[in-house]
């Protein structure tokens, strides 16, 4: 079980320029992450997405570009689940059980199977929300600008308020 | 290979309660005459010999039919065989045994080879491989001779003669082979994906599909080639015009100066845009710098974990230890109920490594606030630069317009032509991309399929090629199968005909000696033996004795061709023969086989058994019922001569 | 053991069908092995592969 994009997500980003900017290129994980962040912020998941094959090799860790931030990604998943499931943040047993459910320090991504599944569903939902706000990007530069605008204007993205 | 019967033993079988052994001599005599009164178990003994030789599966009622009486629960039959693998080699004893369980109605076969020192009985029938394979019930009937068979050989509807030939020469194996060939081809064809086209029609269809796919691919490749060439031409035309435009603009000194400044600025902007795009991308990748709302979520989780004093210090391992230890840290004893509760609930607690992971996460989350350049700032810079670039490009275009306004008439035309070219180039680029893109996601985004995209058309062509190969292989295999099946059938038929003729001639040679009184011969073998004589064309009404003579002649001809030197066991061979015929038969028959075991009744002594009295290599055995229900076995000529038809020896 | 009558039949049928020269021996071995209970599936495949066929698909 690994990270997977939906068919639509992959097609949406398909026309983006593959060229590198000063040695940094726009990766498959970047596309996934862009969607994931929107889904996590909204604390919404797509119930039954149609996935493509994973863009990571079986048993792979987060790619190098994200290896410094992987803890954040796990944390954001836990945080989003707490909001989505409306768990009482003061109930330490509940919060602890939630982390146990989602995280698995032994696995390559640090996520349990259920955690990976949910992360994919957040990304899938995030894509749907993203698509409402922009057309298929053609260049990284313009994508980065447009994507930032979406985050300045949180309204309309279904961001639920902290519990 | 030479096979001899040395002896057999009965235990609680129909022949009589208790144990009795019949020995045919050491080494076994060439002729053994076993005299038993009617109804004392000749048929049973024949059946038992056939059963152990053929490892026959017997049903419960067949098993119970062998039972001596109601008191016995178990019985046994053991046949001693001496097998000489090659001439001059010592004979190896094989004891084939059937153990009967009369209560269950079951029978178990085993083999004992005393010389093998393998220690005891081996399950099943163990004989040399060649023999093992050949000893099937039909074959056994040929030498543990079934009286029925003698009649069947003459009955046209029974095909017993053919079957005997087929059995001995293993022609049935050719039939079995045909079956296996059919099965093999079926399995093979079932494995291929395409099951529709193993006909000529299917092959034609697959070939047409491939031709269509090849044509489509060729067409698309031609299109791509011509579009690419077209674009190259347009590109070079476009850059030529651009150069001319620049030259026209350069004719105005002030404009030329502005152009140089703008181009230099454009180069600088390009670099700036790349730098800020890089910075923005790096900031984008870090959730802590992506947006303030994400950072807020991270800090909130850090606070939740801190407030909840998570991770808790006790790890699930801690509870596991208590459960195992049998005593809590407070000194209380952990009983079964407590142990189960601890085991069940410890899953709710984190393991050590999870505690560490969460502790790390908490530390990092609580520090996520003090982040570097954030994404919003970087993206604003990027946006600014992109806008500058836009302005720069507009100014650049403006210069050309300016030059045009100053009265350069050619420039207007050049700019119009450049604009037209740019549009055509852009649309051509899109068409070329759609035709040539090989990335699956891009193909999906551009709605590519095998009728408008070269890589997809190529895959389709390859798939069609594989299908055609599979279908035609499958079709080819069907043709090959049909050919092989036909050949095997013809080989089987031709072999049978040759062998029939061979056996017919051989049989007639023997008949010539056996039935001298009239010209009785086999005219042809077609399922059964058809006879002819000098008197009538087809002899369908021959006497029982003549019929038996014919059967013997046929069988001995057949067995003389067998790869093994087998014993011949026969039940009451002379009982239905006239005295004249008996004399003839007893003169001829004994010389046909190297070991004969003949079961006789007292009435067969006249003109038949008595002809053996002078033969030195003969074992005379007389079996008789004892008053206690058991059976007695007497050896020698004296006892043999004295048995009456009722079975009393004296 | 294969009787010479069977061997002769193999020879005749192969000639009649104008089979390739190595085919006769292989078919003979196939039958002999079938009679000796010494047959593998791949033996059948080997013999089948030796049978020439019309080039498939040139009907109509």
3-state secondary structure at position A70: helix
Residue range(s) defining the domain that contains residue A106: 7-152
> With a CB-CB cutoff of 8 Å, which residues 312-371 of chain B face chain A?
312, 347-350, 353-354, 356-358, 360-361, 364-365, 368
Of B203, B481, B492, the CB nearest to C57: B203
Instruction: Tell me which chain C residues have a C-beta less than 8 angstroms from the C-beta of B502.
Output: 5
> With a CB-CB cutoff of 8 Å, which residues 3-22 of chain C face chain B?
3, 5-6, 8-10, 12-14, 16-17
Touching subunits of C (3+ CB pairs, under 8 Å) are: B
Asked if residue A163 belongs to a domain, the reply is: no
Using the predicted structure, report yes or no on whether residue C59 has a pLDDT greater than 50: no
Which one of A28, A98, A148, A153 would you mutate to disrupt binding with B, by most B Cβ within 10 Å of its Cβ? A148
Using the predicted structure, report yes or no on whether residue B421 has a pLDDT greater than 70: yes
- pLDDT tens digits for range A48-90: 888 888 888 888 899 988 988 888 899 999 999 988 888 888 8
Is C51's Cβ below 8 Å from some Cβ in B? yes
- pLDDT tens digits for range B65-105: 999 888 899 999 999 999 988 778 888 899 999 999 999 99
The string of DSSP letters for B597-641 reads EEEE-GGGTTTTGGGGTT-TTEEEEEEEE-TTS-EEEEESHHHHH
Asked if residue A112 belongs to a domain, the reply is: yes
| Separation between Cα atoms, residue B276 and residue B263, nearest integer Å | 20
**Distance to chain A for B126, nearest Cα, Å:** 55
| Separation between Cα atoms, residue B202 and residue B263, nearest integer Å | 66
Average pLDDT score over residue span B408-432? 90
Using the predicted structure, report yes or no on whether residue B441 has a pLDDT greater than 80: no
**Distance to chain C for B594, nearest Cα, Å:** 22
Q: Write down the mean pLDDT value for chain B.
A: 84
Least confident of A46-55, B263-272, C16-25, C34-43: C34-43
CB contact under 8 A, B297 and A11: no
| Separation between Cα atoms, residue C60 and residue C58, nearest integer Å | 7
Is A106's Cβ below 8 Å from some Cβ in B? yes
Contact call for residues C43 and C30 (beta carbons, < 8 A): yes
Q: How large is the ipTM?
A: 0.93
**Distance to chain B for A155, nearest Cα, Å:** 12
Is A50's Cβ below 8 Å from some Cβ in B? no
Least confident of A13-17, B327-331, B606-610: B327-331
Touching subunits of A (3+ CB pairs, under 8 Å) are: B
Which residues lie closer than 8 Å to B78 by C-beta, 6 or more apart? Answer: B8, B9, B11, B52, B95, B96, B97, B98
**Distance to chain B for C9, nearest Cα, Å:** 5
Whole-angstrom Cα Rg for chain B: 51
Average pLDDT score over residue span B441-445? 79
CB contact under 8 A, B273 and A141: yes
All structural domains of chain B, each given as residue ranges with its CATH number in brackets, are 2-154+542-642 (3.40.50.300), 227-443 (no CATH)
Instruction: Tell me which chain B residues have a C-beta less than 8 angstroms from the C-beta of A108.
Output: none
Using the predicted structure, report yes or no on whether residue B386 has a pLDDT greater than 90: yes
> With a CB-CB cutoff of 8 Å, which residues 63-102 of chain A face chain B?
65-66, 68-69, 71-76, 78-80, 82, 89-93, 95-97, 99-100
Asked if residue A2 belongs to a domain, the reply is: no
- Residue B620 — pLDDT band, cuts 50, 70, 90? very high
Distances in whole angstroms, Cα of residue A76 to Cα of each of B259, B294, B295: 51, 8, 9
Instruction: Tell me which chain B residues have a C-beta less than 8 angstroms from the C-beta of C26.
Output: none
Instruction: Tell me which chain B residues have a C-beta less than 8 angstroms from the C-beta of C49.
Output: 480
For chain C, the domains span: 4-49
Percent of chain C past pLDDT 90, that is, above it, reads 40
- pLDDT tens digits for range B291-330: 888 888 888 888 887 777 666 655 666 666 667 766 766 7
Question: Angle between the C41-49 and B172-191 helix axes, to the nearest 10 degrees?
Answer: 80
CB contact under 8 A, B498 and C45: no
Is B483's Cβ below 8 Å from some Cβ in C? yes
| Separation between Cα atoms, residue B289 and residue B615, nearest integer Å | 117
Is B283's Cβ below 8 Å from some Cβ in A? no
Q: What is the pLDDT of residue B646?
A: 64
B91 token code pair: 């004979």
Is A144's Cβ below 8 Å from some Cβ in B? yes
Q: Please confirm whether the linkage preceding B15 is cis (ω < 30° from 0).
A: no
Is B477's Cβ below 8 Å from some Cβ in C? yes
Domains held by chain A: number: 1
């Amino acid at each position: 079980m690994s990270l997977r994009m939906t068919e639509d997500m992959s097609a949406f980003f398909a026309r983006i320029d593959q060229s590198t900017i000063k040695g940094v290129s726009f990766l498959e994980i970047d596309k996934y992450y862009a969607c994931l962040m929107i889904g996590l912020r909204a604390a919404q998941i797509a119930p039954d997405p149609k996935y493509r094959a994973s863009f990571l090799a079986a048993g792979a860790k987060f790619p190098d570009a994200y290896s410094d931030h992987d803890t954040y990604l796990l944390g954001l998943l836990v945080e989003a689940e707490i909001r989505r499931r409306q768990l009482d943040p003061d109930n330490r047993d509940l919060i602890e059980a939630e982390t146990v459910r989602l995280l698995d320090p032994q696995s390559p991504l640090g996520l349990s199977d259920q955690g990976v599944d949910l992360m994919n569903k957040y990304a899938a939902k995030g894509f749907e929300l993203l698509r409402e706000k922009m057309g298929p990007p053609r260049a990284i530069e313009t994508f980065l600008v447009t994507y930032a605008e979406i985050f300045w204007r949180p309204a309309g993205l279904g961001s639920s308020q902290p519990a | 290979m030479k096979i001899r019967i040395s002896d057999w033993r009965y235990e609680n079988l129909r022949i009589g309660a208790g144990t009795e052994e019949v020995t045919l001599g050491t080494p076994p005599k060439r002729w053994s005459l076993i005299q038993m009164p009617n109804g004392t178990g000749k048929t049973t003994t024949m059946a038992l010999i056939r059963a152990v030789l053929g490892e026959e599966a017997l049903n419960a009622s067949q098993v119970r039919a062998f039972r001596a009486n109601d008191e016995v629960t178990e019985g046994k039959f053991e046949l001693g065989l001496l097998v000489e693998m090659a001439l001059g080699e010592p004979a190896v004893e094989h004891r084939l045994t059937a153990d009967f369980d009369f209560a269950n109605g079951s029978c178990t076969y085993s083999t004992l080879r005393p010389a093998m020192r393998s220690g005891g009985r081996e399950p099943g029938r163990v004989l040399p491989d060649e023999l093992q394979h050949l000893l099937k019930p039909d074959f056994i009937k040929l030498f543990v001779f079934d009286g029925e068979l003698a009649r069947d050989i003459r009955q046209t509807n029974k095909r017993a003669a053919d079957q005997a030939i087929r059995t001995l020469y293993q022609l049935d194996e050719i039939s079995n082979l045909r079956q296996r060939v059919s099965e093999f081809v079926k399995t093979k064809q079932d494995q291929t994906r395409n099951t529709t086209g193993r006909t000529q029609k299917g092959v034609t269809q697959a070939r047409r599909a491939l031709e269509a796919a090849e044509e489509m691919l060729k067409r698309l490749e031609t299109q791509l080639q011509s579009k690419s060439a077209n674009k190259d031409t347009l590109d070079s035309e476009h850059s030529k015009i651009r150069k001319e435009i620049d030259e026209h603009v350069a004719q105005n000194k002030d404009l030329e100066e502005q152009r140089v400044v703008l181009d230099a600025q454009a180069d600088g902007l390009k670099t700036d845009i790349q730098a800020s795009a890089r910075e923005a991308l790096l900031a984008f990748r870090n959730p802590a710098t992506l947006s303030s709302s994400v950072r807020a979520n991270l800090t909130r989780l850090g606070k939740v974990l801190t407030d909840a004093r998570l991770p808790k210090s006790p790890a699930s391992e801690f509870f596991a230890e208590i459960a195992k230890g049998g005593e809590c840290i407070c000194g209380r004893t952990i009983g079964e109920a407590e142990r189960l509760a601890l085991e069940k609930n410890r899953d709710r607690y984190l393991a050590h490594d999870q505690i560490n992971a969460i502790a790390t996460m908490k530390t990092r989350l609580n520090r996520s606030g003090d982040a570097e350049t954030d994404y919003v700032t970087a993206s604003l810079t990027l946006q600014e630069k992109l806008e500058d670039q836009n302005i720069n490009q507009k100014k650049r275009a403006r210069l050309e317009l300016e030059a045009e306004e100053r009265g350069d008439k050619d420039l207007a035309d050049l700019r119009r032509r450049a604009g037209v070219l740019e549009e055509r180039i852009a649309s051509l680029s899109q068409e070329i991309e759609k035709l040539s893109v090989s990335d699956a996601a891009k193909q999906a985004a551009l709605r590519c399929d095998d009728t408008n995209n070269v890589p997809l058309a190529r895959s389709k062509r390859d798939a069609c090629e594989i299908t055609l190969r599979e279908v035609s292989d499958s079709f080819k295999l069907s043709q090959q199968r049909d050919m092989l099946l036909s050949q095997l059938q013809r080989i089987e038929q031709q072999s049978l005909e040759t062998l029939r003729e061979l056996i017919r001639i051989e049989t007639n040679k023997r008949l010539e000696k056996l039935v001298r009184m009239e010209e009785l011969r086999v005219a042809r073998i077609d399922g059964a033996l058809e006879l002819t004589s000098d008197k009538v064309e087809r002899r369908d009404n021959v006497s029982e004795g003549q019929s038996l003579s014919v059967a013997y002649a046929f069988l001995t001809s057949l067995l003389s061709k067998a790869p093994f030197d087998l014993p011949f066991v026969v039940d009451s061979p002379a009982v239905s023969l006239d005295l004249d015929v008996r004399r003839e038969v007893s003169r001829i028959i004994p010389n046909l086989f190297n070991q004969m075991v003949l079961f006789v009744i007292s009435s067969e002594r006249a003109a038949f058994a008595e002809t053996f009295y002078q033969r030195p290599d003969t074992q005379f055995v007389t079996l008789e019922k004892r008053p206690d229900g058991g059976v007695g076995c007497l050896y020698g000529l004296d006892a043999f001569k004295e048995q009456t038809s009722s079975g009393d020896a004296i | 053991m294969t009787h010479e009558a069977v061997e002769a039949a193999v020879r005749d049928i192969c000639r009649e069908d104008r089979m390739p020269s190595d085919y006769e021996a292989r078919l003979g071995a196939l039958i002999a092995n079938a009679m000796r209970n010494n047959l593998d599936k791949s033996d059948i495949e080997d013999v089948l592969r030796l049978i020439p066929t019309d080039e498939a698909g040139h009907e109509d």
